[in-house]
Structure 1
Amino acid sequence: MISFLLRTFVALFVTALALPASAAPQDGQPVVIGEVHTLSSRVLKQDRRIVVRLPGGYASDPARRYDVVYVIDGGPEQDFPHIAGLAQSTEVNGTFEPFILIGIETVKRREEITPPVADPAPYVAELKANPGGSASFRRFIAEEVKPWVEGRYRTSGNDALMGESLAGLFVVESLLEAPTLFDDYIAVSPSLWWENMKYGRDAVSYLKRLPRGRRRLYLTLADEGHRHQQGVEMLVAALKSSAPADLQWLWVPQWDSETHGSIYHGAALDAFRAFYGVPSQIYLPGPLLTGRRMRERTAAENARRERKCTRENSRRTTPGETRTIEDAIIYECLLYDLGPRAADGRFDR
C-alpha cells in the first residue's frame, strides 16, 4: 500500500525567484502549476515524488473524466514545469483536449530507466552509473503510481507515456516489452543507441509479437547522428514493414531544425495536438478585420454554424490549405494538422 507522506505546492514565482532576496517584491503571489506528492514505494524501496497538474475545469465539471499523460523525468525540477505550461495552454487556445498531467521523478535516471545490458562495464565507465533498472521502474508505475492516480482522480482509462532521450528510450522499451501498460507512447529523440541499438535491431520481432489492441506512437528525433539516429531509423523501418494494423504511428524527424537540447518542448506540443487535437471553425470575418462591409451568412453557413464539431465530422487540413479557400469553408468543422510535417506513419488524426 502506497502511503501518502507529503503534499506540497509546485509554484512559479516568475521574476521574484530570479531576484536577490532584498530586491524581491513583497506583495507578489505565486503562480501554482501543480502539486507534489511523495509516495513511499515498496518496489523502489524509497520515497519518490509524483507531481500532478489537473485541468483548469476539473473541479467545475465533476462528471467529466480525463486522459492521463505520464511524464518520465517529471520531477518539479525536471521536465514537469515546461510540460505543465503546454497543458495549460489549451485552456487558452483550445487546440487539444485537456488532460491530467502526472510527472514521475527520476533520481538516478541512468540507472532507473535504462534497459539491462550484457556488459555493464563500458556504461559504468562512461555514464558513471550501473544501468538496467527499467523493469523495476515500470513495476513501480504499474503497481504503485497508476493505481494511486486512478484511485484519486477522474481518469478516462486512456493513458500516455512520454519522455525524451533516455526517458524516450524507456518509452520505446515499454511499448515493445510491456505494450498493455499504456495506450499512447510519445518518444522524443529516444536513445536507441543503447546496447548496440537493440530496440532498433530487434524491433521487427517485437512488433510481430504485439498483442491486439489500439495503440499510438509519436516518434521524433533531433540532430543526433551516429547510433542514436541509426537506431531510430531501424525502428522506423520496422514500423513500416511490421507494425500491426491497430498500432497507429507518426514519424516526425526534426534533425534539420532541432538539437538534442531544444527538441522536447515543441515536440511535446506537436504530439498533444496529434493525439488529442480538437476541431475548430473559421468564422465570417467582420469589417474591422477585412476593411469592408460584412456580407450576410448563407443558409449553408448558418447550418454549419450550429453544428457541433467532432473529430469524426471534421475535415482534415492545414493552415496553408485553408488559407487559399477560406471563403468557401466558413463555419466548416476543421481538424488542423499543425506543427512540423510527419515524414511517415499510419495515423488517423
Structure 2
Amino acid sequence: MTILNSLKLVITTMLLLICSTIAFGQKLAPKERILAPDQTITSTITGKDYQLYLSFPKNYSTKDSITYPVLYVLDGMNASRIISGIRPLMHLGNQLEDVIIVGIGSGLDPLSWYNNRYNDYTTSVSIPRDETTRDKANGLWGKKFDVPKGNFKSGGAAKFLKIIKTEIAPYLDKNYKTNADRGITGHSLGGLFTAYCLVNSDGYFTRFGINSPAIWWDNEKLLNQAVAQFTENKIWDLPQTKVFISVGDQEDSFMVPTMMKFSKYLEDSNYENIDLKWKIFDGENHISVIPASLSKTINILYRKK
C-alpha cells in the first residue's frame, strides 16, 4: 500500500469516527402531541364552546344497527384520555360493556378551562373565600393565572345540565349510534355537579361516578339537600341506577367526612332501585386519586354481569 493510499485510509477513518460521534451525540427532541377535540359545540344557552373528545367501542361500525350506552366524562380534555386508556386493558379480559365515552371539555387553555368549569359545575352562587379556606378559586388560582378579583363566576350547574340535555346529547344522538342509557362522571367540582345530577335525577342518567365531590360547596348546601331528600323520601321513582362514590384518604380534612355523610345517608335509605358502591382510596390525595377513581368508576358502572 502506498503512502498516499495509507493517508487516504487514515483520513477516511477519522471522518467516519467524527461523523459517528456527532450522530450518536445528537439528542432527539420529543414529539409534540396535542389532544385535539373531535367536535366542538357552541352553546346557544351560554355562548360558550364545549369540546367533545370521543372514544368508541372496538367493534363500533356504521354498517350495523347496534346502539351503545354513553358515558359523559367531565373535564374531558384530561380525564377522557385516562379513562379511554384504561378501557382497552379491561377489554382484554372481556370485563366491560361496550360504551361510547364522551369527554366534555370546557376550554383549550388552563384559564378558560378553570373559569368555565368553576361556573358550569357549581350548584349555587357562592362568594369566593380567600385561599386559606376551602374555596381557593380567587386565591390560589387567581394568583396562578393573574385573574382579577371577582372574575370567577359560580352557580351555573342548572344551565350546564340543560346544555347537556338539549344541545350536546341531541348532537351525539343525531350523529352517532347512541342509546338512552347514559352515565356521567366527574371529579372535584365535577363530582359536585355529578352529585347534583343524581340528587335531582329524573332518570336521564342512570349511572353516576361521583369522585372526590366538592359537596362542601356553599356551606354544604347540596349535601344538606341530599340528606333531607334521602331521609324523608322512602321511595325514589327512578329506573335502575348505579352509583359509585369515592375519595382519597389523603385529601383535605373536610373531603372524607362530607363524602361519607352523602354516601351513608344514601346507603341507609335502602332504595331498591339504587345500586350503590363507595370507596376510600388509601394513600391518595386530591390529584393522585384521579386515575384510580376513573378506573374504578368504569369498572363499577360498566362491568359485565
Normalising by structure 2, we get a TM-score of: 0.74
Q: Are 1:138 and 2:161 matched, yes or no?
A: yes
After the TM superposition, which of the residue ranges 163-172 and 87-96 deviates more from structure 2? 87-96
Matches within 5 A, 1:141-220: 141-207=164-230, 208=233, 210-220=236-246
**Structure 2 CA distance for aligned equivalents of residues 243 and 45 of structure 1:** 41
Q: In proportion to residue count, which structure has more helix?
A: 2
Q: Which residue of 1 aligns with 2:7?
A: none
The alpha-carbon deviation at position 32 of structure 1 amounts to 11
**Structure 1 CA distance for aligned equivalents of residues 34 and 96 of structure 2:** 22
Q: 1:116 to 1:231 in 2, by over 3 A?
A: same
**Preserved CA contact (<8 Å) 1:33 1:84:** no
**Preserved CA contact (<8 Å) 1:48 1:105:** yes
Unaligned runs of 5+ in 2: 1-26, 107-112, 130-134, 143-151
Q: Which residue of 1 aligns with 2:120?
A: 112
**Structure 2 CA distance for aligned equivalents of residues 34 and 100 of structure 1:** 18
**Preserved CA contact (<8 Å) 1:38 1:50:** yes
The alpha-carbon deviation at position 225 of structure 1 amounts to 4.0
The alpha-carbon deviation at position 71 of structure 1 amounts to 0.4
Q: In proportion to residue count, which structure has more strand?
A: 1
**Structure 1 CA distance for aligned equivalents of residues 98 and 34 of structure 2:** 17
**Structure 1 CA distance for aligned equivalents of residues 83 and 275 of structure 2:** 23
Q: 1:54 to 1:39 in 2, by over 3 A?
A: same
**Structure 2 CA distance for aligned equivalents of residues 228 and 244 of structure 1:** 25
Q: Are 1:66 and 2:68 matched, yes or no?
A: yes
Q: Number of residues paired by the alignment?
A: 252
Q: 1:31 to 1:156 in 2, by over 3 A?
A: farther
Percent identity (aligned): 23
Matches within 5 A, 1:1-349: 23-24=28-29, 36-59=38-61, 62-75=64-77, 78-106=78-106, 107=113, 108-117=116-125, 119-122=126-129, 125-126=138-139, 128=142, 129-207=152-230, 208=233, 210-223=236-249, 224-254=251-281, 256-278=282-304, 311=305
Deviation by residue 1:171-223 (Cα, 9 ceiling, x = unmatched):
00111123422010001111121122223333233332743321111001112
Unaligned runs of 5+ in 1: 1-21, 279-310, 312-349
**Structure 2 CA distance for aligned equivalents of residues 32 and 96 of structure 1:** 28
Q: Which residue of 2 aligns with 1:318?
A: none
Q: 1:34 to 1:58 in 2, by over 3 A?
A: farther
Q: 1:48 to 1:35 in 2, by over 3 A?
A: closer
The alpha-carbon deviation at position 130 of structure 1 amounts to 2.1
RCO higher in 1 or 2 (8 Å CA, sep ≥ 6)?
Answer: 2
**Structure 1 CA distance for aligned equivalents of residues 93 and 102 of structure 2:** 22
**Preserved CA contact (<8 Å) 1:164 1:188:** yes
Normalising by structure 1, we get a TM-score of: 0.65
Deviation by residue 1:218-242 (Cα, 9 ceiling, x = unmatched):
0011122432222112112211322
Deviation by residue 1:2-29 (Cα, 9 ceiling, x = unmatched):
xxxxxxxxxxxxxxxxxxxx8359xx9x
Residue identity matched to 1:81: R
- Structure 1 vs Structure 2 CA RMSD: 2.7
**Structure 2 CA distance for aligned equivalents of residues 232 and 274 of structure 1:** 18
The alpha-carbon deviation at position 105 of structure 1 amounts to 0.8
Deviation by residue 1:31-62 (Cα, 9 ceiling, x = unmatched):
99885201121012122211111112102862
Could you say what secondary structure the match of 1:219 adopts?
strand
